[in-house]
Chain A
Amino acid sequence: MIGKRAQDFINRIIVLLLLFIGMLVVVTPLAWMMISALKSQDAVNTNPPQWIPTEQVKVQVNGKSAFLYNIEVDGILRQLALTNKEGSTGTFVNPEKPEEQYQLPVASGTRATRIYFHWENFVLAVTKVPFFHYLLNTMIIVVFGTLGTLISCVLVAYGFARFRARGLNILFLILLSTVMLPPQVTLIPTFILFRKIGWYDTLYPLIIPAFFANAWDVFLLRQFFMTLPTELDDAARIDGAGPLQILWHVILPQSYPVVATVTIFSVLYAWNDFYAPLIYLQSESHWTVALGLQAFNAVFTKQSHLLMAASALMLIPPILLFFFAQKLFIQGVVVSGIKG
């Protein structure tokens, strides 16, 4: 019979092992993203793909740029620059002594390469676009949007979870049904609506609707609120508390994990959304980070290295938020003894 300590230990090992294997799967594309962010532009799309940022070496010879080759001359391996090509024969010169020239078949040499990490790509990604402006706009949307979502969704979910009224169930179904219609077909009517209000090219369409709750978060909060026992509510009510006080003093303190979840989702959505900004914003001074960085994937000038750098940078705020929000995911704070 294995003792409890040993059993725990084995369990932990198994879990760690599973997590580790899973992590490899999950982390590999992310590692690729980081590595690609450090490559030069012509190194991103090589075949086969590189796992270490490697690029071909160019040198200056007589004021012109030339590729460096590893090529054998009289049996010795040299590094020479290819300055001219006539058919399959090339003129190779010594970059330090340009008078030293050789006529050799190009196919007998290979391009010299070097490993180089282009850390400046991260800087480029944020300086090629008015990043600070974008960031400001995004923060406004994120902060106010999340605030609006939290306030409205908590109130609405509380109403659906803890109260009874005629027609409330129907309304809940209507709430859910609002997200069952593909948004492509409501895009134009919604756009015309916002246009008529005069909100085109402003941040309002991206913020104001958040103050009127959304189906996903209300549904989630409602489910969660319904798992909380009602005894504490009753006790508070007997003590004379009104519905809002019950919400504030009883419900919410038991709901940190789900409120944290809603916050994280809301921030993440506002942070990453580029579609709504694309449709409702016009002047670049109103653009958001997500929209601005989309530009690096433009169809005829794929700057994948900058796109990867930009995408990697975009990960930082949501990750930080999640990491620090872990504190709220502590094991249940529910007061025990009631079900006793």
Chain B
Amino acid sequence: MKLERLNLRNSGVKPASKPRSLRRQEALWAYILISPWLIGFVIFTLGPMIASLVLSLTRYNITTAPVFILFDNYIKLFTGDPKFWHSLGITVRFALIAIPLNLVFGFVLALLLNQNVPALAFWRTIYYLPSVIAGVAVAILWSLIFNPRFGILNWLLSLVGIDGPGWLASPDWAVPALIIMSLWSVGGGMIIYLSGLQSIPTTLYEAAQLDGANSWQRLFYITIPLMSPVIFYNLVIGIIGTFQYFTEVYVITATADTGLGGPAESTLFYNVYLYSNAFRYLNMGYASAMAWILFIIVLGLTLLVFRSSALWVYYEGALRK
């Protein structure tokens, strides 16, 4: 018995075109429905965004009024600032590893927590807990785990005979430590996958099982395709969030002896360097330029992912043109 691979493309039978008046009505409704966002965007968001774009063309140290220097900030960033490239490099390398890892881990975890096991609510809550803990306490807790001498991680490693590294205190191991840290709070993304998994109709699985599909086939031919919109969401959000990675680094290194972005600038992520420029060097114009460069990069990547979505994302309820 052959299983039919679900059609992943958004093509479908094209119905007869709608009459103009209906299309206009549809468009009107669309705009009415999105008006809350549109209005809020104009009032609260657009202004500050334009302001920061303008500021990126100035020298602004907050204590005195901005002074226009046009593209000097951008030129300096690209040609005269090694830390710019350094921080970009750290961020990109981090993203390349953290995003796929988080995607896979979150998905696997959600699969596990969607099984028929006893006390499911309990397990889900346990895995959700880490993402609930706020900022400062997290730093203290992680210093416990990553403590080179007394930390849990190195203790576990010593059980299998490995001499654990310095983690957050070591320039080479600080970023891996941060990657591990990001996985701990994967429970947040797990919920999103769970809500996606919940809406896959059980009838599909039943039908597939009747057709003789085993669990791997069910996973690859039903679960993943139907989850692709949610996977897509996590991918895009992951890109946007990872490139702006800041809070964890700040909480851990701001008061540490090694300074913000330490040790030895190994955790100087792009947004960390941006923050330093904005609020420590009081170079708000320069920081704004950095922000808009990041904006372009992230926007570009997101557009690429959106383009590619036609190939792998399946929407059951996609509107046929």
Contact = CB atoms under 8 A, between A and B. Distances in A.
A binds B: yes
Interface of A: 11-12, 15-16, 18-19, 22-23, 25-30, 32-33, 36, 47-49, 151-152, 155-156, 158-166, 168, 171, 173-182, 184-186, 188-190, 193, 209, 211-213, 216, 218-220, 223-230, 243, 254-255, 257-258, 260-261, 264-265, 268, 272, 274, 290, 294, 297, 299, 304, 307-308, 311, 314-315, 318-319, 322-323, 326, 329-332, 334, 336-337, 339
A226 B315 contact: yes
Q: Label chain B's interface by main secondary structure.
A: helix
Interface in B18-66: 23, 26-27, 29-34, 36-41, 43-45, 47-49, 51-52, 55-56, 62
6 contacts: A19-B112, A26-B184, A216-B237, A272-B134, A307-B140, A319-B125
A308 B132 contact: no
A36 B140 CA distance: 11
A334 B142 CA distance: 42
B256 to A, nearest CB: 12
Interface string B136-173: 11001110110101101000000000000000000000
Contact of B37 (A164, A212, A261): A212
B29 A159 contact: yes
Nearest to B52: A185
A297 B136 contact: yes
Interface SS of chain A: helix, strand, loop or mixed?
A: helix
B199 A227 contact: yes
Given A165-B31, A186-B51, A224-B229, A326 B124 contact: yes
Nearest to A320: B125
Given A155-B36, A166-B27, A229-B317, A314 B134 contact: yes
Contact of A15 (B39, B117, B129): B117
Given A26-B184, A180-B299, A311-B134, A193 B230 contact: no
Given A32-B144, A163-B30, A332-B199, A26 B127 contact: yes
B295 interface: yes
Contacts of A190: 44, 48
A254 B29 CA distance: 21
Contact of B137 (A182, A209, A219, A308): A308
Given A185-B278, A322-B128, A212 B44 contact: yes
A44 B279 CA distance: 32
Contact of B26 (A47, A165, A334): A165
Contacts of A11: 115
Interface residues of B, number: 109
B40 A209 contact: yes
Contacts of B141: 29-30, 32-33
B99 interface: no
Contact of B317 (A156, A168, A177, A227): A227
Contacts of B232: 223
The winner among A12, A18, A185, A218 for most chain B CB atoms within 10 A is A185
Contacts of B321: 164
B274 A189 contact: no
Given A332-B199, A334-B201, A28 B30 contact: no
A319 to B, nearest CB: 6
Given A28-B152, A212-B44, A319-B129, A181 B52 contact: yes
B142 A29 contact: yes
A255 B199 CA distance: 8
Nearest to B128: A322
Given A186-B45, A261-B192, 14 more contacts: A26-B127, A32-B141, A159-B34, A166-B27, A175-B37, A181-B52, A181-B295, A182-B271, A184-B278, A212-B44, A213-B36, A261-B191, A323-B121, A329-B124
B195 A49 contact: no
Interface in B103-122: 109, 112-113, 115-118, 120-121
A297 B136 CA distance: 8
